[in-house]
Structure 1
């Protein structure tokens, strides 16, 4: 069946290792959009961290959609209308924050307005994330977070520290939320009802598309939910070996314009 929607992860997928969109990727995305294919950026980043990419790719019209916060927010880029918004409750935040404190992991909570941390000594990967996604970062105590619309929480630290802590996460946390690494130093916690796969399902329904008409391209474990639901799951050559087991197609690496290869070979042909 003809592919009508392509969801594309950013880091390690859309962007090469220099964090650039190659001319080949740009050209393929423009050709797909002209052919009537919905190109949907699907990322763990907040909207502030993807606005420049959307602008660079001319994906800012009414009817252009973006999935942010790992599926916690889906909106029409042109109008700002929210198709999906799944939030963590204040009680959720308190439980996650307490777990991070017990495990001695820096953490921050993400909202549309910015990032909030209860760590007086702000973790270096929180600072890195704030710079990467062009988001302000604020210090707030847990008591000051009651009125915030929290879409996801991230525990962040050196990869070996994070990996050592993950087995100690209580089952009450891992069963209640989606918990997945999006980078070696990022562990993301989102509502059970929020992931890239569920976001694509709901967006496809909104657009009157079947899942057989959808493709997803990704490289990391937080991409698994969308790869598992679409009709055409594509994993980057530089992607996780475990993800490649569920791929219908393996495309070239992000440094070889793998997104362009996937679009031209399996969407536009």
Structure 2
């Protein structure tokens, strides 16, 4: 019987997006039919860079194409940027499965589910890119999300605090504004896709919150204080307001946390 960890690692290393999406779905099917064991056949290797299209050029965030949704090229740039986020989110979920050991079975079930849903999001966006004669990897992108994964690779509590509850939660805040701009530009089909992604991402942040609280309880830590300490330690970007308070509350943030984030 193959192990979950070795299978997740193989998925993580795949460069071709179509192959990775297919492999993620196969991994999920094998997991849910109990074809993968939780045996630790080896310790987790550091993955400094997960598999991604060989054509993808990585640049500094300031050098990515402008995303003005009023123009056709701007919409392509926007779709490519979001597809890049979703593709990286597949890798992030796979890395959580591969990297962190001796956790409850439900942890792996949750993050496999996230990987499958991120793969679906990626496919929706790639389809829209293809309609516009573009493919993921045709435009440059940056690695902000994956860099945080590398920084939190040694501690599952830090990973749960900072990737779903900071990096992905920023998407909850930004997506409604992007949807509004696309609606004004007459791109109802893209708004519908972002609505699907937004609803699923609330669930992903909620999964991160649930496991963050679980790990805090296991270690005897106060969740709010721990979250803010880790945020100040690791996150050097800006927290852009306004926050999507309804989405964040649904995803498990407390009113106290949101008040403290507003102060930051």
- TM-score, normalised with respect to structure 2: 0.30
**Which has the larger helix fraction?**
2
* Higher RCO (C-alpha 8 Å, min separation 6): 1
